[in-house]
């Protein structure tokens, strides 16, 4: 099985003009066949975005999410683009 074949999508056209930082997060949860493990990716996604907000100022518009859910494999892609002047300095120094 070669289920894991992610590739990051190319930077949006025009982004080069305004300096932006970009954070991409890919998650894949592969469940053993018949394990019946709950799919926790949706909750995990929310928690991870909360964690990211500790380090950068994330507006809702900056976040793009794609999720695919299957019996054995669920995957989640989170794309965050922020102007590069938006780090949260107090957190970044921690």
Which residues contact a copy of itself by CB under 8 A? 1-11, 19-35, 37-38, 40, 43-44, 47-48, 51-52, 54-56, 84-85, 87, 89, 91-94
* Minimum distance of a copy of itself from residue 69's CB (angstroms): 14
Q: Which single residue is written with the structure tokens 């997060």?
A: 25
Structure tokens at 73: 């494999």
Whether the Cβ atoms of residue 6 and residue 27 lie closer than 8 Å to each other? no
Element (H, E) at 71: none
| Beta carbon nearer to a copy of itself, 4 or 59 | 4
Closer residue to a copy of itself in complex, CB, 8/59: 8
* CA-based nearest residue to 46, from 25, 31, 16: 25
Q: How many helices (H) and strands (E) does the chain have?
A: 2, 3
Q: How far is the CB of 65 from a copy of itself (least distance, A)?
A: 15
**Minimum distance from residue 76 beta carbon to a copy of itself (Å):** 9
Least distance (Å) between residue 61 CB and a copy of itself: 18
């Amino acid at each position: 099985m070669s289920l894991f074949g992610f590739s990051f999508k190319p930077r949006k056209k025009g982004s080069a003009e305004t300096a932006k930082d970009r954070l991409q997060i890919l998650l894949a949860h592969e469940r053993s066949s018949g394990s019946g493990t709950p799919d926790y990716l949706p909750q995990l996604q929310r928690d991870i975005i909360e964690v990211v907000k500790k380090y950068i100022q994330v507006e809702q518009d900056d976040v793009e999410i794609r999720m695919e859910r299957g019996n054995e494999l669920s995957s989640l892609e989170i794309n965050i683009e922020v102007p590069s002047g938006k780090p949260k300095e107090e957190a970044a120094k921690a």
